[in-house]
Amino acid sequence: MELCSEEAVRLVWEGAIPLQIHLHESEVTTLPPPPPVLILGPRIGYLPLLVTVIKPHFNDTLPPGVDSVWFDYKGLPLKWYIPTGVLFDLLCAEPERPWNLTVHFRGHPGEILTPCGGEDPVKWSFINSLKEAAYIINGNCKNVMNMSQTDQSELWQSLAKGNMESYTRVSSRLKLGPYGEDAVMRMSTGRIPIRLYLRILGEDVDDLEDVTTIDSWDSISYINRPVEIHNEEGHYITFRSAMRTLLPEFFDDEASAFDHVLVPRGDYEIDDGIENTEATATDFVSTKSQSPKKVNEIKLIRIQGIEVDLDIPFFWMVNNLKNPEHFLHICVFMVPALNPA
């Protein structure tokens, strides 16, 4: 069965969030105030990389001073080292299009956010994440540390420009994937890089529109922890099994053999517009249909804008939906139990 899909990866690379960027009112010194900028933010990119395009629109109206750029969404300062797509999936329970953000060039909140003066901090953050992923997968980061300056530069530029072919050419030399039948056996550590963002909703809501926006990053539990795969589990472990290793208390049904029974009906096909549709494992005949009692209820799980089904093969998900630094970013919306156990 096909665990890699170039088409899926391309759709991820081409995915973008329509953004409407407003300059913060305290930094508008001219009348009339400048209109907001409409721009596409690549899902796999980072907000500071958009500043060179945004700034010219606001240059003439900025107060004197040194630039220290930062963004906020409804008052929440945005962490620039989190990919744009992940920020959107996490902070907009009900997707808002365009996504209205505010840009600031002054008054950086240094006690909450590390500063980002340009492209370099973003590049280093990216390279460090790549090193971390390499360490998780191989047990060392030699392949990344030994990259030539040229390769490193090309890798970063390809990401910044959204050039998938050029990126794949350099990154394939790092040998960090893909996961599949043979690769499982070859994996040195059996560990897969995951970054999980757990958003605990205040109360159960039927409609995502009713979810209140968060005002502090303390409302998000960030779990940077690899999933460990043991070879005896086989090649087609489900996403559910993987999630159970990270959040065991949210999947308190007994681990059943049915987690691994998937009868594929041909290759897994993707619809166009993968970003907006629910990708369900309709091509699989699952023999499991029990509804487990959960103490805390998972409302929804979003990866690259897709509301994912728990029965999707985990390796397919990782190979095709991961970000370029080889981390799979998972946004989980959860309602806590009324009577915690």
Nearer to another protein, 182 or 249 (CB): 249
Least CB distance to another protein at residue 91 (A): 15
Q: State which of positions 286-305 bind another protein (CB under 8 A).
A: 296
Nearer to another protein, 22 or 225 (CB): 225
Question: Is residue 267 close enough to count as binding another protein by CB under 8 A?
Answer: no
170-189 footprint of another protein as x/- string (CB under 8 A): --------------------
Amino acid letter, residue 14? E
What residues contact 290, with CB distance under 8 A and at least 6 apart?
Answer: 253
Least CB distance to another protein at residue 199 (A): 11
Q: Cβ(24)–Cβ(63) under 8 Å?
A: no
27-66 footprint of another protein as x/- string (CB under 8 A): ----------------------------------------
- Residue 107 CA to residue 164 CA, distance in Å, equals 36
111-140 footprint of another protein as x/- string (CB under 8 A): xxxx---------x---x--xx--xx--x-
Greatest Cα-to-Cα distance within the chain, rounded to the nearest angstrom: 67
Q: Cβ(323)–Cβ(167) under 8 Å?
A: no
Please state, in angstroms and as integers, the Cα–Cα distance from residue 261 to each residue in 81, 92, 235, 311, 327, following that order. 38, 34, 11, 10, 26
Question: Is residue 217 close enough to count as binding another protein by CB under 8 A?
Answer: yes
Nearer to another protein, 268 or 327 (CB): 327
Structure tokens at 32: 């009339």
Least CB distance to another protein at residue 132 (A): 5
Amino acid letter, residue 241? S
Question: Is residue 340 close enough to count as binding another protein by CB under 8 A?
Answer: yes
Q: Cβ(137)–Cβ(176) under 8 Å?
A: yes
Strands 328-335 and 306-307: unpaired
Least CB distance to another protein at residue 108 (A): 11
DSSP state of 276: T
Within 195-262, residue ranges assigned H as helices are 239-246
By CB under 8 A, name the binding residues for another protein.
Answer: 79, 81, 110-114, 124, 128, 131-132, 135-136, 139, 141, 145, 193, 198, 200, 217-218, 221-226, 247-249, 296, 336-337, 340
